[in-house]
Each structure stands twice: as C-alpha cells, then as structure tokens.
Homo-oligomer: A and B are copies of this chain.
Amino acid sequence: MPKAKYEQLYQILKEKIESGTYPPQEMLPSEHTLIAELGCSRNTLRRAIGELVRAGYVQTMQGKGMRNIFEPSQQTTFTLGTIETFSESAERNQQRGASKVLLFSPVTADWQLAEKTGFAEGTPLYYIQRLHYLNGRPLIFNHSYFRQDVAQGLTREIAEQSIYRYLETELHISIINSKRVVTVEKATQLDLQHLDMGDCNCLAVVSSQTYNSDGVMFEYTQSRHHPNFFRFQDNAVRRSSAYGKPEEK
C-alpha cells in the first residue's frame, strides 16, 4: 500500500485507464479538471502523470492534452526500473512460482570470478544456484553470489525461502538499486540439463549487480532465462527531434 499521494494518484488513474473508464485512444481530462476531481496540487498530479508516461499508459502533447494509449495485451512478465524478487513477480502476474536450491556453497572470488562479477579478488562469497519454476515449468536458472560480510548468517534453509526477506527484515539491509544488463548467450551443459529448451542453443541472460545503502555491491546474480518465456518490456519517448527545424515563414 503506497503512502505517497502521487503514488495513490498514479494507481487511481492507472485503474481508470485499465478498466476502460477513459476510452482507449481518446483524450483524458485536462490537468485542471483532474486537479479538481482528485483534490491535489498540479505538481503532485504531474508527477503521477510522469509515471504513467514512462509505464506506457498515456502520451502527453504540449498544447493538446493527454491521450490514453493503453492496450490490454500488455502481459508483462518482467518489469523494468524496479527491483522485484521472483516470488513478487510471480504474484503480480498471478502465476504459481516455486524455487529449488541446487547448490549452496561458500567460495572465495578468484581473478576469473572477480572479472565476471565485479567483486574484488579474494572476497568471501556465498554461491547459490537456484532453479525457478513458473506454473510447474523450470524457466530460470539462477547463479547468485552474496558478500559474506554483508549477508551474514545466510544459510541454505533461508535460500529455500526468501533471501531478500532475510536481508531486509533480519539484517536490516536497505537495498537501493541494481544495475542490470540483458544479453544472449550460448547455453551450457548445465542449462540444457535443467531447462529443457528443445533445439534452442541460446538463452536470455540478465546479469545484475545490487547495491545497499552503504554503496557496496553485495550481490551479483546471473539469471539464465528459457528463451521461449523471456519477455522484457519498455516504453521509450522521443526527446527532441534530433533534426533541426525545416524552413519556416
């Protein structure tokens, strides 16, 4: 439940758009009208509108207004810009999620692992392999590395449940941000063994480095996704016509 007013306004407008209260392809009421309806200041409303634009629900045009461009086919599987755990994502999509821990092992970063993950060589880590199921199918093969000095007391039993819950509620770590890169890689023997991907020999790989409020990267995770069930969504806006104006007057 969001407490900030602009988040509430965002939710209200989002639901009105999704439910068809505002007809598709049509203009929404003007800011002036919405302010009167919703009882808020212009800045607060505009902040909510900004989120709607970024999420691809509306487009705004200076001097014209705001148009509903939502299309109900948006069955997003992975969000962008916000950090979600696998179970949170499954719940949002109203799907059955399950996970299995394949490996839990303390390791020390050698130069090769340091190169790949971004941790300093010699850093003590927990290495965890997990397999995530959606609706009974194995879809994501996960390799995670956590700094031992940050994720103190992490065990296989905790990993079976929820690591983030442990970090946030037990260790009081605030997770701030995560840098992610999406690439496509050749499948390894391990991938083929667990993911059952037919005759595809590549998969989608999301590598992420996650930081806490002390600015230390405490987690590196490589998520290897089944190619047929990977879907990453984005809404882009055109900043300023990169080309100069044509002749006028």
Q: Which residues of A contact B (CB under 8 A)?
A: 2, 25, 43, 53-54, 56, 59, 61, 64, 67, 69, 71, 79-83, 85, 88, 118, 164-165, 168-170, 172, 174-186, 199-204, 208, 211, 213, 215, 225, 227-228, 230-246
Contact = CB atoms under 8 A, between A and B. Distances in A.
Contact of A238 (B165, B176, B208, B243): B176
A83 B246 CA distance: 21
B176 A83 contact: no
A177 B56 contact: yes
A43 B46 CA distance: 13
B181 A236 contact: no
A215 B67 contact: yes
A200 B202 CA distance: 7
Contacts of A230: 182-184
Contacts of A233: 179-182
Nearest to A244: B169
Given A61-B176, A61-B213, A237 B184 contact: no
A177 B2 CA distance: 28
Contacts of A59: 176-177, 211, 213, 215
B235 A179 contact: yes
A2 B179 CA distance: 26
Given A25-B215, A246-B170, A200 B177 contact: no
B182 A82 contact: no
Top 10 A-B pairs, shortest CB-CB distance: A202-B202, A184-B227, A182-B232, A83-B238, A175-B238, A67-B215, A180-B234, A169-B246, A178-B236, A83-B236
